[in-house]
Structure formats: structure tokens, C-alpha cells
Chains A and B, each alone.
Chain A
């Protein structure tokens, strides 16, 4: 694609890697800014919540814990428990989930050169959703495994089915289009099975529904520790491929001429992103929108170079979800909104603004 065309059609350009590429110095600046935004979101997330902890008391408590000195925070024992065992792990989990979903989205979009690819394509979400539904329906008998484990396995089964189906098509086995279409078919099938199971066991509808809407409620630090290794592993693998992703963005044939095995790279990246996604989805339920919108927003503003896109998407994804969770916890306080509802309600208008600004440029 020629440069003038790219300048006139920034949207199309972003999908093919033709967007602006910031100079290294500016890139560092953007990463720093995104990190700052994340810090701000974390601070707000820790300071704001339905429980009436004053920001001052929270700061005193944190200062006291960090330095072992300072004035007493004046928090009651319930409030201390809320801060350390409920709110902090929830904020950290939100950051991990948001970072993972946004990173996986950016990776999928790059790997498949498909703007609509996100963690929920390829059967990950529908597999995890079916797994969660089965776990909830089966209740006691699957309790030994637990909902997160079954959802995780379901997510892996979903993506494995997609990949097997895509490969079985033959000649086009490694073509991104075939894989994406296979993902659509697998997702539709798994969704149908899930709906069928739900209808058969309609007494569990509310529990399933609650999970499908996404939820960052934690049992403390357990979920954070469960998810952390997968998120770290997936992030490292994907981030190490940031240059290869740029090469692949021009096309499989071109990539091969540059010495990149597109098929193998795709498999590695998809597996890593899926593993991380399945892990976070299994504890948080289905939180839509983050994986598709955050990377696009970053692309529209910073261009499509994965060297910037991936880290900034991670940081902003984390900030976005932590912020959305603050809203979920407080808007209807003390009742709670499903975070999946908040991410879409807040994310969609935000994305439209970014889109308009990018077009005007």
C-alpha cells in the first residue's frame, strides 16, 4: 500500500502495519505515559470503593505497612480486612486481566491480520463459557476441579478444536482466514451446546448468566496467584515476538522471504495468548471489549508498530479494566454492576471518540 493512500485511510493502514511509527524517544514517552495512567488507575482503585474507607486512612495504612512507621490509620479491623484481603487483590487482579486481554487482542489481530480478532475469537471464550456452564450445572460433582479449572480446560478445548479444524481444511491450513473462519464455526457450535445445556438446567441460569457477564470478585489473593504465572508466561512470549509480528503484518509470503516461518510463529503466539486468556477468563468470567478496543485505540493514536502497540496496550488495558471496575463497584453502590457491562458501556463511546479524532487527522 502506498504511503499517500495510507495517510488518507488511516484505519485500513493500521491493519496492515502502515501507520505512523514513533521514533524510539517518543515511544519511551508513550510507554511512560501509559504506565503513569495505570498507576493513577491503581491508586483510584485502591482508594475508592463501596466501603467507607477514607482515602487518608487508606494512605496512612499503606504508608504504615510499607515503612513500618507513621501514624495509626484508624481503620477498623473490618476495614483493614477489606483493604488488604478484598480490595487490593481485586485491583491487582483487574490489572492482570485487563493487561492480558488487551495484549492477547493485539497479538491475535496482528497474527491474523484481522481487525475483529480478539481473545474471544477462536473459540476461547465459548469454550470457557461452556466449561463454566458445565461446572455450574454439575455443581457438587465437579467441585473437586472448580469452575476456573473447568473453564480453563474449556477454553483450551475451544482453541484446539479451532486449530484442528483449520488444519484439516488442508492446503490453507495455516492461512489466517481459514483459522478465523474455523474459529467462527467452533464458537457458534460451542455456544449452541452451552445454550442447550443452560436450557436443560434452567435452575442454574442466574449463576451462569452472572459468570458470563464477567466479574472481578475475588476470594482474596488466590486468584491473583493462579493467574499470575500464565499472564507472565504469555506476556513474555508475545512481547519477544514484537518484531516478528511487524514482519508478519506485511503478509505470509513476504514474511517467509524475510526468514520468518509464519505458520509456526502463528501457532506459538496463538497458544501463548490463548493460555493467558483462558487463565484470566477462568477467574473473571467473560469480560468483553477490552481485547478489541484497547489495541485499536492505541493503534489509531500511535500507529501499528507492535514494538509500541504491545506494551502500551498491556498498560492501558490494565488501567482501563481497573478503572471500569471502580465504576462497577461504586456507581450503584452498595450493589454491584457486572464489569462486562461497564467495559462495553464506557468503552464504546470512548472508542468512538478515538475513532473520530483519528479520522480527522
Chain B
């Protein structure tokens, strides 16, 4: 199995794992000196941030996430670290110049906001964009010494396994925790936090605005093609899925699609096969990668021949990375859903 395949698998595998980690760690971890909090202009408490969704594109200075006002370089800066709304304040004293990212999604965000030149090392699965300095660092089993070996002045991670954060804290290195985002708004907020922590707050706003605009355009192009259709998003052949209650499901929801897993009330449930077949989804989305089933394999599954999506040939492969990373490429995922709807639905209706 080649390295690229391995990485794709990682993208898929990381979703529920990340969710587990988030639940387990309770979003706690970073410690920062409260006294420093006063030094920043907008170091407000992080409560107000999340819920108010739609209008954030019009609100460039969200108080919690983009604390620094104007120029890309007002340090020290206080950034919210961890999962909204239970974040902790992280103080970055100076503009970081040697960032280590052990989260593929964070790596995409760092490069998207223009902080790529400040990044000295990224984990083994951070292979996008291509210029990212890939190392064999692991985000699942982070090795504190290996990370410190790059002499970082900021570490970005998606979880805190093995007390990574307190270890880095002891070494005086700030860690920005960006756990698997629960919805699109949180992913936008994370982009803003990455921008603020690296001195690219304005660029981060642009990235968010562009991502939103692209998603809106994809939704507009699909029109009402997806309205009321049901879908099943398969993460792996043991019927792990992402429900509508995830940022993945949120994207599908923008197209009016209904997720068959919603009644589980879980974000990433493992469904029983009987249930999937009986739910009879109009569309099946399966993520790319060697370990995922191909449309042919899905059609060959015993009993699946009667499923509407299989009957109509509407089993769609979506890129495992853009469909699992809550980063600045979510618009590409939205575009692939739009394309699938435009292609698939005439056959289905």
C-alpha cells in the first residue's frame, strides 16, 4: 500500500477517533497566564462566539475568534484554544516563526491563511498542500521529544493524546488545539483562530468568506435537485457513517438532502446493514481510498441490489480528504456533492 493511500485512510479514520478524543479530553488542556489576557485588545471571553451562524461573513471581527483588530502582527495575541464553546485562552507572545502542525486540517488552514512560510514541520498525514514540510510526526501518538526537536514556537494539534499539551506547556511552547469541528461555523472559526495566532487575521477572514461563497455557489448551481432526497455517507465498509449532525452532514443539508442516520442521535454512528437497506437511500456517498468499498462492491453486497441508489447507479465516490477535513477545502467537497446531484438526479427521477 503506498503512502498516499495510507494518508487517505488516515483522513477517514481520524474522524470518529478525533470525536472520541475530543469527548475524552473535554476540551481542556492549555494553560495560560491570566495576567497576559489584558494585554490584547479584543481578548474577550469566548462565550459569545459560536451559535450565531449565517451572518459571520459580514462580521469580520468576531470577538472570540479574531481578537486582534487590524494589521497582521499585533502580538501578543490571545486565541481561543479547544472545542467551542469550552475553549481556553491561549496567549501567543510573539509572531510564531517555527510552527509545527500535527493535524492535517490545521496544516491546510495554516497554508490557506498564508502562514505556510512559518511552518517548519507537519505530521505524516499532512500532505496537502504539496509544499507542506511533511515529517514522520504522528498526530495520533504524538512524540513530545520529536516535536520539540523542531524547536517550535507554536504547535497546532487536533487532540491532546498522552498529555501532549501539558508537556509542551512545560517546555514553554503554546499549543493551539483545534479539535474536529462539529459544524461549518466552528470550522470557519478555527480558520480565524489560526489566522489570529499566526498574524494573518485579515487573510483568514478572506479565506472564510471565499469558502462560504464557493459553497453558496455550489448550492445555487445544484438548485433544488437534492431537495428531499435521502442519502447515506459511508465512511468504511463496516457501516460507520456521518450523520447530519456533523459538518459533513451540514454540507449535504445545504442541498436539501436528508441523512438516513439522523435518528441515531449520534454524530458518527455505526449503522446496522438492515437499517441502511431498509432506509433505501436515494444516494450513497462513499469516501475514496483503498479501504473503502467501491461502487461496484457496494452494488455486489448481498441485499443491496434493491436499494434505490444502487438501482439507479447513484453511488458516488467523494474525496476522502475534502469530505473529512473541516478545513478551507470544504467548498471542494460541496462542489463534488453539487456535481453528483446534477449528474445523478436525472437518472433517479
- B250-265 CB mask vs A (1 if < 8 Å, else 0) is 0000000000010110
- The residues of A that contact B41 with a CB separation of less than 8 Å are none
A86 touches B277 (CB 8 A): yes
Query: Is A226 in the interface zone, CB < 8 Å from B?
Result: no
- Could you tell me which residues of chain A, from 163 to 205, have a CB within 8 Å of some CB in chain B? 199, 201-205
Q: A52 vs B13: C-alpha distance in the bound complex, in angstroms?
A: 31
**Interface size range of chain B in the complex:** 35 or more
Query: Is A2 in the interface zone, CB < 8 Å from B?
Result: no
- Could you tell me which residues of chain A, from 256 to 275, have a CB within 8 Å of some CB in chain B? none
Query: Is B165 in the interface zone, CB < 8 Å from A?
Result: no
- Could you tell me which residues of chain B, from 30 to 80, have a CB within 8 Å of some CB in chain A? none
State which of B146-154, B217-225, B301-309, B332-340 sits at the interface with chain A: B301-309
- Could you tell me which residues of chain A, from 19 to 72, have a CB within 8 Å of some CB in chain B? 49-52
Q: A224 vs B60: C-alpha distance in the bound complex, in angstroms?
A: 60
B306 touches A203 (CB 8 A): no
- The residues of B that contact A137 with a CB separation of less than 8 Å are 1
- B1-39 CB mask vs A (1 if < 8 Å, else 0) is 100011101100110110000000000000000000000
- The residues of B that contact A82 with a CB separation of less than 8 Å are 274, 277-278, 303
- The residues of B that contact A329 with a CB separation of less than 8 Å are 272, 274
- The residues of B that contact A207 with a CB separation of less than 8 Å are 13, 236, 238, 291
Query: Is A360 in the interface zone, CB < 8 Å from B?
Result: no
- The residues of B that contact A89 with a CB separation of less than 8 Å are 302
A217 touches B290 (CB 8 A): no
B302 touches A218 (CB 8 A): yes
- Pick the contact of A86: B13, B266, B303 (CB < 8 A): B303
Query: Is A221 in the interface zone, CB < 8 Å from B?
Result: yes
- The residues of B that contact A51 with a CB separation of less than 8 Å are 274-275, 277-278
A203 closest partner in B (C-beta) = B10
Query: Is B285 in the interface zone, CB < 8 Å from A?
Result: no
Q: A203 vs B16: C-alpha distance in the bound complex, in angstroms?
A: 12
Query: Is B239 in the interface zone, CB < 8 Å from A?
Result: yes
Query: Is A73 in the interface zone, CB < 8 Å from B?
Result: no
Min Cβ gap B44→A in Å is: 38
Q: A215 vs B270: C-alpha distance in the bound complex, in angstroms?
A: 12
Q: A138 vs B9: C-alpha distance in the bound complex, in angstroms?
A: 12
Query: Is A361 in the interface zone, CB < 8 Å from B?
Result: no
- The residues of A that contact B1 with a CB separation of less than 8 Å are 137-141
B11 closest partner in A (C-beta) = A203
- Pick the contact of B9: A49, A203, A222 (CB < 8 A): A203
Query: Is A87 in the interface zone, CB < 8 Å from B?
Result: yes
- The residues of A that contact B16 with a CB separation of less than 8 Å are 206
- The residues of A that contact B261 with a CB separation of less than 8 Å are 334
B17 touches A333 (CB 8 A): no
B303 touches A85 (CB 8 A): yes
A219 touches B301 (CB 8 A): yes
- The residues of B that contact A78 with a CB separation of less than 8 Å are 277-278, 280, 306-307
Q: A196 vs B279: C-alpha distance in the bound complex, in angstroms?
A: 40
A202 touches B290 (CB 8 A): no
Min Cβ gap A306→B in Å is: 37
- The residues of B that contact A220 with a CB separation of less than 8 Å are 301-303
B5 touches A140 (CB 8 A): yes
Residues of B within 8 A of A (CB): 1, 5-7, 9-10, 13-14, 16-17, 125, 138, 140-141, 236, 238-240, 261, 263-264, 266, 269-275, 277-280, 290-291, 301-307
Residues of A within 8 A of B (CB): 49-52, 77-82, 84-87, 89, 136-141, 143, 199, 201-207, 210, 215, 217-222, 329, 332-336
20 A-B Cβ contacts within 8 A? A50-B272, A50-B274, A51-B275, A80-B306, A82-B274, A86-B303, A87-B274, A140-B290, A141-B1, A143-B290, A202-B10, A204-B291, A205-B17, A205-B140, A206-B13, A206-B16, A217-B272, A329-B272, A332-B264, A335-B270
Beyond the given A51-B278, A219-B302, could you list 10 further A-B residue pairs with CB under 8 A, ordered by the A residue number?
A52-B278, A78-B307, A81-B303, A85-B302, A89-B302, A139-B291, A204-B291, A206-B16, A206-B240, A334-B269
The 4 A-B pairs at the shortest CB distance, nearest first, are namely A220-B302, A203-B10, A85-B303, A334-B275
